[in-house]
Amino acid sequence: MVKTNNENFSTLAAFIWSVADSLRGDFKQSEYGRVILPLTVLRRLECVLEPTREAVINEKKKHKGAKLPMAPFLEKASGYSFYNTSNITLDRLGTNDTKENLERYIESFSENVLDIFENFNFQDVIDRLHKANLLFLVCGQFTKIDLHPKKVDNHQMGLIFEELIRRFAESSNETAGEHFTPRDIVTLTTSLVFNFDSDTLGKPGVIRSVYDPTAGTGGFLSSSTEYIHSMNPKAKIANFGQELNPESYAICKADMLIKGQDVENIKLGNTLSEDQHAESKFDYLLSNPPFGVEWKKVEKSVQDEHKNKGYNGRFGPGLPRVSDGSLLFLLHLISKMVEPSKGGSRIGIILNGSPLFTGGAGSGESEIRRYVLENDLLEAIIALPTDMFYNTGIATYIWILSNHKTKERLGKVQLINANSDEFCDKMRKSLGSKRKYLTDEHIKRIVKIYGDFEESKVSKIFKNTEFGYRRITVDRPLKLSFKPHDESKLSSLREEAAFGKFSKKEQNAIVDALIGLKEEYKDRSQFLSELNASPALQSSKLKLSNLQEKMIVKCIGEQDETAQICKNSKGEIEANSELRDYENIPLSESIEKYFQREVLPHVPDAWIDISKIDEKDKKVGIVGYEIPFNRHFYEYKPPRDLREIDADLDQVTKEILTLLQEVHS
């Protein structure tokens, strides 16, 4: 048997992975995980139950024929919230009736375990292994591994599952990062979320709930429990989660079972369209939603909730574009926060850069940021080093939110730039896209910077309103000149679809009328007046409608700053839509003063369109919010001296010439 007490998790994972060599030829490489993962879970459950196996079997015999529910007695005998009543184990399957014995063994588990293997679709795995004459061989391989908790603790077991999933996903070109988050990132996020609650969590009899709507294999749930128990072993932690992927759900549920959690709190399904904890609130909320994944499949249900429930539902503030649903998960988490009067909640969510700035004023993304900041929910954003995740090397950020901020953090947001080599180490061997990792010292340093709440080179503190702006619409007057003899403009008129609806006679009359006018006009009203009074139109008895006049103006006219200002029938100045511009004015500034200082000196005839009103505060201009993280940490680096660059180029040129000479010689 493979001993595990002196071996690290990667050695164990490598051994389990090696079992997949037996599948070569009968299974595709992309199918290896479907075999190995459920058998790993089965072996783990078997090792956990081994010490109390006989007690459970005897308890079943003792109550044989009784009409009482058996489950409570069997759970008490096993010492866990699950059990197996069979005397069959993986090393007792036999060579003749292996399939039947294994099926009976699985069927002898309690209902909550049967659900795990159903979501692994394990019966199909058994059938295929049996058909390939591999069932006895593969099951026998797993008997060589001792996965009892005394040999492999829950933390190590979690790492083994992560490593296996990563390897299988990588070999089948799947996205491993959708199923779990690297443990160093989990530890950092958990430490940040629990940072201010150490005193409370250390009190006797404390009870807390932790929730992850994108639970994956349960990394966040496991890590949070470990963190709290490290401070207070007697604390009672209730874990809740929901996961979309059946296999990840099965692993998460198995992990929670072994740790004594109520697995009824772990749900299978799409969190956005089918919230299975709809009426629940939680003390701590952690999530690593998929980056940049569209939510088109659940678009109807999400939009219906947004429209019909508004702020009574989860998505009242707004909806992001369909191409990225990250902010929907943020809104979902916020809806699960306990009211401040009842203790409040804290959130840790990992997002990519898009939620920081995507979408202008009035967009769904901006309105979500507005809701978060105006309700003073955001405590901090921490920029992580790149290349930290298995499936992507892009920039990522941890958002920490709270609805019961400490006094000094009220109305403020802390930005921490940990995106540099001083906050991470390079891995000796890359794992997918993950090339860097956080050591315990890096995690402690980042958490300390967050806890100290002080300004530094890597820590900036802002008022919430500093991320807000008001977008005003700046219009300029329409000034048109007309050159009715210009052949290019007449050609443009002839090609206009609306012009083609005139009869040939009417088309000729309009062109003749234009050619009969002066060569240039600087006044639109004069141009139209003389056009309508022209002999060519009068003789053809053609009366131009307003729409037809607009068509001719569009084709013959052009913006000319020396022309007269165009006015409508009410005498109001018309705006030129092609010259329309927008200005984003910080919320702390006066619109009028900004306009006088920044706009009028350049375009003296411009004005603010006061009809563009913000729906919420009813003031001129649309309010928007964005968090330009990188801008606040930008450091100007002057370009290298040209002489230094030339010297380098000369050196490189000499080296190339030397190499070429060696080749020719």
Position 191 confidence tier, pLDDT thresholds 50, 70, 90: very high
pLDDT in tens, 634-649: 877 788 888 888 888 9
Q: Are residues 126 and 106 in the same domain?
A: yes
Q: Out of 174, 202, 217, pick the residue that ends a domain.
A: 174
Q: Are residues 259 and 136 in the same domain?
A: no
pLDDT of 432 strictly over 80? no
pLDDT of 94 strictly over 60? yes
CB of 483 closer than 8 Å to CB of 520: yes
pLDDT of 583 strictly over 80? yes
Looking up tokens 């103006």 gives: 553
For residue 257, the model assigns a pLDDT of 85
Q: Are residues 34 and 147 in the same domain?
A: yes
Stretch 394-399: mean pLDDT: 92
Pairing of strands 378-383, 412-417: parallel
One DSSP character per residue, 188-203 reads HHHHHHHGGGHHHHTS
pLDDT of 375 strictly over 90? yes
Q: Are residues 276 and 403 in the same domain?
A: yes
For residue 172, the model assigns a pLDDT of 54
pLDDT in tens, 600-658: 999 999 999 999 999 999 999 999 999 999 998 887 778 888 888 888 898 889 888 88
User: For position 127, which CATH number holds?
Assistant: 1.20.1260
pLDDT of 86 strictly over 70? yes
Position 508 confidence tier, pLDDT thresholds 50, 70, 90: very high
**What percent of the chain is predicted at pLDDT more than 90?**
66
Stretch 148-162: mean pLDDT: 82
Q: Are residues 135 and 215 in the same domain?
A: no
pLDDT of 128 strictly over 60? yes
Does residue 631 lie within any of the structural domains? no
Mean pLDDT for all residues in the chain: 90
Alpha-carbon gap, residue 233 to 327, rounded angstroms: 35
Does residue 252 lie within any of the structural domains? yes
pLDDT of 509 strictly over 70? yes
One DSSP character per residue, 584-595 reads EEETTS-HHHHH
Q: Which two tokens stand for residue 484?
A: 């009715």
Alpha-carbon gap, residue 401 to 76, rounded angstroms: 40
Q: Are residues 356 and 491 in the same domain?
A: no
Does residue 647 lie within any of the structural domains? no
Does residue 385 lie within any of the structural domains? yes
Position 6 confidence tier, pLDDT thresholds 50, 70, 90: very low
Q: Are residues 321 and 349 in the same domain?
A: yes
Does residue 639 lie within any of the structural domains? no
For residue 617, the model assigns a pLDDT of 93
H or E stretch at 638: none
Q: Out of 115, 150, 174, pick the residue that ends a domain.
A: 174
pLDDT of 174 strictly over 60? no
Q: Which two tokens stand for residue 455?
A: 């300004």
pLDDT of 4 strictly over 50? no
Alpha-carbon gap, residue 157 to 146, rounded angstroms: 11
Least confident of 171-175, 517-521, 524-528: 171-175
Q: Are residues 422 and 531 in the same domain?
A: no
CB of 556 closer than 8 Å to CB of 472: no
For residue 177, the model assigns a pLDDT of 44
For residue 655, the model assigns a pLDDT of 87
For residue 5, the model assigns a pLDDT of 40
Q: Are residues 372 and 397 in the same domain?
A: yes
For residue 665, the model assigns a pLDDT of 64
Pairing of strands 346-352, 581-586: unpaired
Residue 77 vs residue 29, higher pLDDT = 77
pLDDT in tens, 28-76: 888 888 899 999 999 999 999 999 999 999 998 888 877 778 888 999 9
CB of 9 closer than 8 Å to CB of 159: yes
Q: Out of 532, 559, 586, pick the residue that ends a domain.
A: 559
Q: Are residues 389 and 402 in the same domain?
A: yes
Give the type of residue at 584: N
Stretch 495-517: mean pLDDT: 91
Pairing of strands 396-402, 346-352: antiparallel
Domain with 522, as residue range(s), is 480-559
Stretch 357-365: mean pLDDT: 95
Least confident of 38-52, 66-80, 438-452, 506-520: 66-80
Q: Are residues 369 and 502 in the same domain?
A: no
SS3 135: helix
Count the Cβ atoms, other than its own, within 10 Å of residue 164.
23
pLDDT in tens, 192-248: 999 988 888 888 889 999 999 999 888 899 889 988 988 898 899 999 999 998 988
Q: Which whole-number Å values give the CA distances from 124 to 121, 231, 592, in the listed order?
A: 6, 44, 71
